[in-house]
């Protein structure tokens, strides 16, 4: 006859079995929040032809990631494991297409993919925390009127249980947030904080009694010089400086060229002026 666990032991086993999934779900939720806080999600249009809400601009730190045009039904899945990026079967398919074209026999279904290399930039439109890794969905700016998309999975080492900090470090080996993009966000936060503080002196200035009516009104101050500040929008800049002589569209950046000034925008906000 098989030995049976005491009732208390059975209850303890059941309790642990119930708690572990809850704990794992909580840990995954926390990691998801941390990833989305660092790599802000971009929302594209339904047909993936444009961007509705811009998030963080990501910079690729390793070669190479394969992307397909957004007109294809399924994006290629790249993986990052043991410090190495791999295009997997999708990369093999891409090479076979190139080889077929070289010998004059292209395959029946050709996908004009594009390989992104170190230093190139794109957006992230989705992050999914999975039991064996983290999956990023990536989305590019137009290249000759074609946008590309792809997925990149960060595979956990087999048998490991990575902390949130370790996962963030793993992702950071391949993807970082563009410094200009992060600077623009920080500037916006600082301006909001300054605006909040500025309201207090204004309120204090209202406290003293009004000056006697007999006092002569002070002369109107001279108009301040035109000022362009970090974080301003394209509309604000054109309202101050007028329409530019030239507009340069450089991927994720746009540069307005004036007679004596160049203003750089990222995500529609000023990040530099020279």
Which residue(s) pair with 138 in the sheet?
Answer: 124, 150
Do the domain assignments include residue 203?
Answer: no
> Residues 74-118: pLDDT tens digits?
999 999 999 999 997 765 555 555 544 554 545 545 788 999 999
212-233 mean pLDDT = 71
Looking at the fold, whether 17 and 122 belong to one and the same domain comes out as yes
61, 175 contact by CB (below 8 A): yes
Q: Are residues 162 and 183 in the same domain?
A: no
* Inside any domain, residue 66: yes
Please determine, for residue 149, whether its predicted confidence score (pLDDT) is greater than 90: yes
Mean local confidence (pLDDT), 143-156:
96
* 123 compared with 255, residue with greater pLDDT: 123
* pLDDT for the residue numbered 166: 96
Cβ partners under 8 Å of residue 216, min gap 6: none
The answer to whether the beta carbons of residues 256 and 249 sit under 8 Å apart is: no
Residue 123 and residue 34 in one domain = yes
Helices 164-172 and 7-38: crossing angle in degrees, nearest 10, is 30
Q: Do 59 and 154 belong together in one domain?
A: yes
Q: Are residues 262 and 147 in the same domain?
A: no
Are 137 and 184 in a shared domain? Answer: no
Taking the C-alpha atoms of residue 233 and residue 243, their distance in angstroms, rounded to an integer, is 13
pTM over 0.85: no
C-alpha dihedral, 194 to 195 to 201 to 203, nearest 10° = -160
Total domains in the chain come to 2
Q: What pLDDT score does 8 carry?
A: 63
Q: Let me know if residue 195 belongs to a domain.
A: no
Q: Are both 160 and 102 inside the same structural domain?
A: yes
For residue 56, give Cα distances in angstroms to 17, 95, 185, 263: 39, 31, 9, 20
| Reported confidence tier of residue 63, pLDDT bands at 50, 70, 90 | very high
What is the distance between the alpha carbons of residues 193 and 126, in angstroms, rounded to a whole number? Answer: 30
More confident residue, 146 or 97: 146
Based on the domain organization, do 134 and 183 belong to the same domain?
no
Helices (H), the chain: 7-38, 88-102, 164-172, 179-205, 234-241
**Which pLDDT does position 21 carry in this prediction?**
45
| CA-to-CA dists, residue 16 to 161, 162, 182, angstroms | 18, 21, 43
Find the domain containing 258 and state its range.
179-188+229-274
Q: What is the predicted pLDDT for the residue at 250?
A: 83
Average pLDDT of the chain to the nearest whole number? 80
Please give the residue that has the higher pLDDT: either 224 or 47. 47
pLDDT tens string 178-218:
988 766 555 555 544 444 444 444 444 454 555 555 556 66
* Confidence band for 258, pLDDT divided at 50, 70 and 90: confident
Task: Give the Cα separation of 229 and 233 in Å (integer).
Answer: 9
Closest C-alpha among 83, 79, 87, 112 to residue 97: 112
| Displacement of CA 27 from its chain's centroid (Å) | 22
Given a cut of 60, whether residue 13 has pLDDT beyond it is: no
Looking at the structure, do residues 54 and 154 belong to the same domain, yes or no?
yes
Residue 34 reports pLDDT greater than 80: yes
Give the pLDDT of residue 212.
53
Shared domain check, 239 and 255:
yes
The pLDDT assigned to 238 comes to: 86
Residue 248 has pLDDT above 90, yes or no: no
> Does residue 183 sit in the same domain as residue 115?
no
Same domain, 112 and 237: no
Residue 215 domain-assigned?
Answer: no
Q: What is the pLDDT of residue 202?
A: 47
Percent of the chain with pLDDT over 90: 45
């Amino acid at each position: 006859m098989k030995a049976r666990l005491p009732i208390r032991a059975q209850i303890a086993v059941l309790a642990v079995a119930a708690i572990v999934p809850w704990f794992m779900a909580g840990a995954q939720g926390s990691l998801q929040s941390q990833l989305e806080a660092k790599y802000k999600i971009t929302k594209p249009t339904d047909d993936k032809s444009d961007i509705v809400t811009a998030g963080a601009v990501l910079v690729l730190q390793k070669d190479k990631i394969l992307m397909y045009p957004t007109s294809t039904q399924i994006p290629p899945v790249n993986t990052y494991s043991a410090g190495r990026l791999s295009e997997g079967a999708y990369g093999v398919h891409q090479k076979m297409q190139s080889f077929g074209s070289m010998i004059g026999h292209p395959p029946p279904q050709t996908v004009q993919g594009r390989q992104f290399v170190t230093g190139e930039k794109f957006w992230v439109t989705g992050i999914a925390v999975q039991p064996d890794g983290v999956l990023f969905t990536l989305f590019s700016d137009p290249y000759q009127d074609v946008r590309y998309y792809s997925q990149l999975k960060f595979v956990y080492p087999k048998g490991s249980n990575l902390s949130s900090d370790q996962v963030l470090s793993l992702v950071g080996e391949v993807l970082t947030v563009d410094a200009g993009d992060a600077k623009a966000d920080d500037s916006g936060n600082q301006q909001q904080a300054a605006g909040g503080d500025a309201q207090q002196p204004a309120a204090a200035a209202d406290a003293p009694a009004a000056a006697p009516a007999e006092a002569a009104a002070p002369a109107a101050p001279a108009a301040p010089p035109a000022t362009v500040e970090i974080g301003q929008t394209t509309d604000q800049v054109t309202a101050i400086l007028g329409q530019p002589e030239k507009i340069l569209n450089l991927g994720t950046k746009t540069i307005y060229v004036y007679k004596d000034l160049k203003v750089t925008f990222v995500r529609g906000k000023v990040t530099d002026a020279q």
